[in-house]
Amino acid sequence: MSNQNIFDNEIFFDGYSELRSREINSNNMLEQPAMKEMLPKQTGKTVLDLGCGCGANCVEFIKSGASNVIGIDISEKMLSIAKEKAFHKSIEYINMSMTDISALNRKFDLVYSSLAFHYIEDFEKLCKDIYDLLNENGYLLFSQEHPLITATINGNGHYNKDESGRKISYTFSNYNEPGERKVHWYVDDVKKYHRTFSDTINALSKAGFIVEEVCEPQPKGWAMEKWPALYDEFIKPSFLIVKARKGQL
Ligand SMILES: C[S@@+](CC[C@H](N)C(=O)[O-])C[C@H]1O[C@@H](n2cnc3c(N)ncnc32)[C@H](O)[C@@H]1O
């Protein structure tokens, strides 16, 4: 089972960096505000950020009182920016795949991941590994692309419009065929993994997690004012966010 490291591809990295540098994007307008509302208290807590990218969230955890943070990422390019722009003495950045986290010989109060789990094939194993790394009553909070988005082979889900050009519905397919998807995003053959909603929740439950909250973020008024395209989220959600607690097996 090989992990693709697409963020180290120069063309992909440049495109993605440009997208994230904009004030108006789905991260800033939709996914991050919803994640922040669901974050458990971090004062004095230890945090592991899986697929931490450029480290922006790691710094936020420290600002919110976390005692120390480990950010891991498979991409050297993303981590080199994190080490420069999101440096803090209580943050450690490690270049590793989250498929190898069982090798981390530590315990955490919070495992966090923003928009990275859809790059992972074996979600059941990942859930078990995370469960083992958490302290009792520790939390996992993650976001991923919504299964309605990852479903269609080749990423060819699309909106349908009425005669006046207004988007009215969204077409997707292959929902009940979980597995690898290769999509075009800045470059060809970006690998993602589709899982059904039930497979996702059942993997967490099987690992021993108690699912406390599930969110398919709806855009807020302030965000739609800045970016009317967010009205599309009422047709279909872009993200799935889950907050789960380590229970007793
Ligand atoms: C969409 S970016 C999100 C980055 C960051 N979490 C954020 O919200 O700004 C996804 C990140 O997941 C990382 N990633 C993908 N597969 C990974 C893996 N197997 N192990 C660790 N990181 C991975 C990528 O390198 C990239 O930095």
**For residue range 36-79, what is the model confidence (pLDDT) as tens digits?**
999 999 999 999 999 999 999 999 999 999 999 999 999 999 99
Supply the angle between the helices 197-207 and 123-133 in degrees, to the nearest 10: 40
- Which of 1, 4, 7, 59 has most ligand 1 atoms within 8 Å of CB, for mutation? 7
What's the pLDDT at 1? 62
> Which of 162, 183, 163, 164 is closest to 172 using CA atoms?
183
Contacts of 14 (CB under 8 A, 6+ apart): 186
pLDDT band at residue 112 using 50, 70 and 90 as cut-offs: very high
* Ligand 1 atom index nearest CA of 27: 8
Average the pLDDT over 123-134 and give the result: 98
Is the pLDDT confidence value at 155 over 90? Answer: no
At a CB cut-off of 8 Å and minimum separation 6, what does 145 contact?
115, 118, 192, 238, 239, 240
Strand, helix or coil for residue 130: helix
**Chain-centre distance of CA 100, in angstroms?**
17
55 lines ligand 1 (CB under 6 A): no
Q: Give the residue, by CA position, lying nearest to ligand 1 atom 16.
A: 119
Pocket lining: 79 vs ligand 1, CB cutoff 6 Å: no
Q: Which of 34, 29, 47, 49 is nearest to 240 (CA)?
A: 34
Q: For ligand 1, atom 24, which residue shows the shortest CA distance?
A: 51
Give this prediction's pTM: 0.97
Contact 42, 64 (CB under 8 A): yes
Whose alpha carbon is nearest atom 11 of ligand 1? 51
CATH of domain 6-246: 3.40.50.150
DSSP per position, 208-225 = TEEEEEEE-PPPPHHHHH
Ligand 1, pocket-test mutation among 13, 29, 74, 91, most atoms within 8 A of CB: 74
Q: Dihedral through CA 37, CA 74, CA 244, CA 219, nearest 10? A: 30
Binning pLDDT at 50, 70 and 90, where does residue 2 land? confident
Q: How many Cα atoms within 13 Å fall on the side-chain side of residue 101?
A: 27
pLDDT tens by residue, 181-234: 999 999 999 999 999 999 999 999 999 999 999 999 999 999 999 999 999 999
Our answer on whether the CB atom of 148 is closer than 6 Å to any ligand 1 atom is no
Give the model confidence (pLDDT) of 84-100 as tens digits: 999 999 999 999 999 99
For residue 51 and ligand 1, the question of a CB distance below 6 A is answered with: yes
